């Protein structure tokens, strides 16, 4: 453990620029995803389903190759994997912007996910850059913070630059008139390539290659390898970074890797107990993983459905000011982008200013329980917003966005802490986190097309109330759970 190592400001700043590139590309399509599908398919029928499929294609492809890219980074280094992943996202963005066929657009999204292994690898680089435990909370918060910041830029950029010929008539008949969704993707690709150039020139490799010392090569025996890899039990207190929520898909794996790395560091600083070699999976761990999957589903589906709902036209036979159970608000793409950008700002505020003092005040278990109990309200009330006068509709919309951000940003990291404290032995912590992230990826993959299908068949209210039903299931699961023995002493920052 290095105590006096300076904070790696320069390297983290370069890595932050690289991390910023992906959410810009990912979030830029959310504002125009629904009209893009309607334009490219020529019909509104099932447009919400196909729009959701475009989002989930990236998440599914990325989840399927994340372990492969992580393994490659262990062999060839972190830097080549990060830079090649960025190039893959740039190619995906250009392919999507040039697509004239829905299936070409879907293939471009999937290609971006397949080539992008940056989420876990970048978090690994953070853990390898930071030598001093006191620097960990700030360093680990960089990855999710840049996701939120990039989502704000991406949402605004997508809303402003999509279909530019409608806003700037001088572009009529130009390339951007023929390819109305190329400009935001082109700008995203240019930003990504700038990040690639900066990373190539200034980002340092962090992977440490173990070197065998010949002077001690003969001093080992058959017991030495066992001592070097001996597992230890988790220490009672582990600093855990605050993780926020967004419709982007990568936060779960960021948080899991940060949690595991922080746990390993705290083991070096606190009394070590011998491992319980008989320890294994328990009921609480399974229930917590199920809760994580449900929360991941809710986060993804809210982030995908809200832009669709805002841009969709109201039902034709519903007078203004009356309950509309089928349509949306009919906002312009640019107005939706502004709303989603504001949503990103709210998420940053909750994560940066509210999460830690809130959980310190109420404790991890109570914070998780109460926010889970209240969560269904954020979904079931959305259709009733249509009863508000259109001139004032943004007020209840922003209130709901803030409530959803607040509850999910509290719930998700609390679940990670509870899962860590429910794990009886560090020897299975990697498998537990791996299983949790696999379940979360699966939930985020099925969420967009499933809710899109419900929206297309049953209308907007059916979609929102189906999300509320999932939140209610998560609430009922609490009745079968109990706090881990150590959790009363664990606070929001992980200290006793």
Domains of the chain are: 9-205+241-270+282-489 (1.20.1250.20)
pLDDT digits (tens, 9 = 90+) for 340-395: 888 888 888 887 788 878 888 888 899 999 999 999 999 999 999 888 887 788 99
Assess contact for 266 and 376: CB atoms under 8 A: no
Assess contact for 54 and 37: CB atoms under 8 A: yes
Mean pLDDT on 132-140: 66
Closest C-alpha to 463, from 304, 290, 337 = 304
Specify the long-range contacts of residues 129-132, CB closer than 8 Å, at least 24 apart: 129/8, 129/11, 129/12, 129/15, 129/206, 130/7, 130/8, 131/1, 131/2, 131/5, 132/1, 132/2, 132/3, 132/4, 132/5, 132/7
Strand ranges, E, within 68-187? none
Residue 137 CB coordination number (10 Å): 18
pLDDT digits (tens, 9 = 90+) for 203-228: 999 877 655 544 444 444 443 443 34
Of the candidate ranges 34-38, 85-89, 144-148, the one whose mean pLDDT is the lowest: 144-148
d(CA 310, CA 333): 9
Q: Find the helix or strand (DSSP H, E) in which 175 lies.
A: helix 175-178
Can you give the pTM of this predicted structure?
0.64
pLDDT digits (tens, 9 = 90+) for 149-196: 887 888 788 888 888 888 888 888 888 888 999 999 999 999 999 999
Structure confidence at residue 134 as a pLDDT band (50, 70, 90) = low
State the burial class of residue 210 (Cβ atoms within 10 Å of its Cβ: 0-12, 13-18, 19+).
exposed
- Name the token pair of 493: 């920052």
């Amino acid at each position: 453990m290095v105590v006096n190592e300076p904070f790696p400001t320069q390297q983290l700043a370069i890595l932050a620029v690289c991390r910023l590139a992906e959410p810009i590309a990912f979030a830029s399509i959310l504002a125009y995803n629904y009209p893009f599908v309607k334009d490219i398919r020529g019909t509104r029928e099932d447009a919400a389903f196909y729009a959701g499929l475009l989002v989930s294609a990236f998440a599914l492809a990325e989840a399927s190759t994340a372990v492969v890219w992580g393994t490659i980074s262990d062999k060839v280094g972190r830097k080549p994997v990060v830079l090649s992943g960025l190039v893959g996202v740039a190619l995906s963005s250009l392919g999507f912007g040039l697509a004239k066929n829905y299936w070409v657009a879907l293939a471009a999204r999937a290609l971006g996910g397949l080539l992008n292994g940056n989420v876990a690898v970048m978090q690994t680089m953070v853990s390898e850059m930071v030598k001093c435990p006191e620097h960990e909370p700030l360093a680990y918060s960089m990855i999710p913070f840049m996701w939120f910041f990039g989502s704000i830029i991406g949402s605004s950029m997508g809303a402003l630059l999509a279909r530019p010929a409608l806003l700037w008539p001088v572009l009529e008949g130009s390339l951007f008139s023929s390819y109305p969704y190329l400009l935001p993707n082109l700008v995203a690709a240019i930003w990504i390539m700038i990040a690639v150039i900066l990373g190539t020139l200034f980002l340092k490799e962090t992977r440490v290659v173990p070197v065998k010392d010949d002077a001690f090569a003969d001093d080992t025996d058959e017991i030495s390898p066992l001592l070097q890899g001996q597992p230890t039990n988790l220490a009672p207190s582990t600093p855990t970074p605050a993780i926020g929520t967004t419709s982007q898909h990568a936060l779960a794996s960021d948080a899991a890797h940060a949690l595991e790395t922080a746990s390993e560091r705290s083991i070096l600083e606190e009394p070590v107990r011998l491992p319980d070699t008989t320890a294994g999976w328990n009921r609480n761990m399974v229930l917590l993983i199920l809760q994580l999957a449900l929360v991941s589903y809710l986060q993804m589906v809210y982030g995908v459905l809200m832009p669709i709902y805002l841009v969709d036209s109201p039902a034709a036979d519903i007078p203004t000011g009356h309950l509309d159970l089928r349509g949306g608000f009919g906002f312009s793409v640019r107005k939706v982008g502004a709303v989603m950008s504001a949503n990103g700002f709210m998420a940053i505020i909750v994560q940066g200013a509210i999460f830690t003092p809130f959980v310190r005040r109420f404790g991890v278990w109570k914070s998780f329980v109460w926010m889970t109990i209240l969560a269904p309200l954020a979904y079931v009330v959305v259709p009733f917003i249509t009863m508000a006068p259109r001139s004032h509709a943004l007020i209840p919309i922003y209130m709901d966005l803030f409530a959803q951000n607040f509850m999910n940003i509290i719930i998700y990291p609390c679940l990670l802490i509870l899962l860590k404290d429910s794990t009886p032995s560090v020897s299975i912590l990697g498998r537990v986190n791996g299983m949790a992230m696999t379940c979360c990826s699966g939930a985020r993959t099925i969420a967009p097309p499933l809710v899109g299908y419900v929206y297309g068949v049953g209308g907007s209210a059916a979609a929102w109330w189906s999300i509320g039903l999932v939140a209610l299931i998560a609430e009922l699961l609490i009745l079968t759970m109990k706090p881990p023995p150590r959790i009363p002493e664990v606070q929001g920052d992980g200290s006793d």
